[in-house]
Structure 1
Amino acid sequence: MSGMRRAPRPSHGPVAVTSSPWIVVCVGFVVMVVLLFVVLGAYRGRSPAPDDVSAPTLPLPQTPVPLTGPAPTSSARPLLPGLSPRATGLPPSLAAGSRAPTVSPSAGPRSTTRAPDRPPAVSGRYRVVQSFDGGFIGEVLIANATGEDRGWTVRLDFSGGRLVTTWVEGVPQGTVRQTDGADFTYVSGVDVPAGASVALRFHLERASTRPQGCTVDGVRCTGF
């Protein structure tokens, strides 16, 4: 009996696992299945939102409703005159009870520009037609610048001398009023046509050829 030896028992440790490869394959398959379930659970927890969910809409602004109660009184300090452009009180320089100065609507700078003088309706031009020993023949040409026929009056003043005669050629003669020496006034017998002219001539003796005064309807003649 002592000479007989027992055969050694096979070990169930790593040597057994190595000798049975199908066990490793089964364990790996189980691990992969477990990991697959874990991944699917995590993916379902992060699923995207459904397509029919619309984006939230913002509320539209509404028209404010005016308050019907009394307006709130301001607690701000009153503004002093001269310190704020919104002050409505009287300036301190204006005494109590005094009236503020009023400005007349017509007050203001007056224009110094004068309107251009309008030419007279009837004007006259004096000239000497002929001179000779002891006297001369003068003329006043009357021009009508208006649009209608006009009567006229000529006044001539000379220093000394004597008026011999007066006449207007080709028309009825007017009226002569002699005042002193060679001074006289001639009133037309007929009107001078619109836009036309007429010549009054006169003969003077012992008088200067330059008159002291010559007017037509009160307007000074030209030419002397």
Structure 2
Amino acid sequence: MSEIILINVSGIDKPGLTSEMTAIMAQYDIRILDIGQAVIHEHLTWGILVEVPGDKESSSVLKDLLFRMHELEQDVSFKPVSKEEYALWVEGKGKARYIVTLLSRSISAEQISHVSAITARHGLNIDNITRLSGRPAVEQSIEQTKACIEFSVRGTPPNLDDLRQDFLAIGNELGVDIAFQEDSIFRRNRRLVVFDMDSTLIQAEVIDELAIEAGVGDQVAEITEFA
């Protein structure tokens, strides 16, 4: 009978690690059920869920992986997963998927705490968290930075309107933008974004800038401020 095993590897990232690990697995006709990798500050966290064929010895492949990862100075752990546990996990993956996007000058622990608490309260589980923006320099002023992270969540919220209201409320309280959308083909195929420019994308009113060029800046600025 085949065996399902969760393999976790962590350590300093090095070129060729994925190739090294999967090459050993290939010798045993290993089937990949799930795989994920993240690198933060050159530190690798790598997980893979595999099925070892019934005619292969799992102890042999685990021994080979453990020996090679030790040579490459990586920490590795193994956890057996029952067929029943795997079936329940797969069933859960069939739930609706949503994307929560958090946009701010700088990402704080408080922001993530509130966003993740709202998702949990509405029956959503976080599958992945991905950084979409570049890495900020420590000495750079927050006013000059921008940060964006994306949560991939799964579940069936009892009331989507209540969920959106909670995100809107916490976004206003923390001064951040939070977008919530269904993770569908339509979302992935979008290629156009339309939104307000003045005092949104840029911290200015374009009509005021044009008025300055035309020599009537003070008069027009008075009108736009009144509006």
TM bracket (short chain):
under 0.3
> What's the TM-score, normalizing by structure 2?
0.22
Between Structure 1 and Structure 2, which shows a larger proportion of helix residues? 2
> What's the TM-score, normalizing by structure 1?
0.23
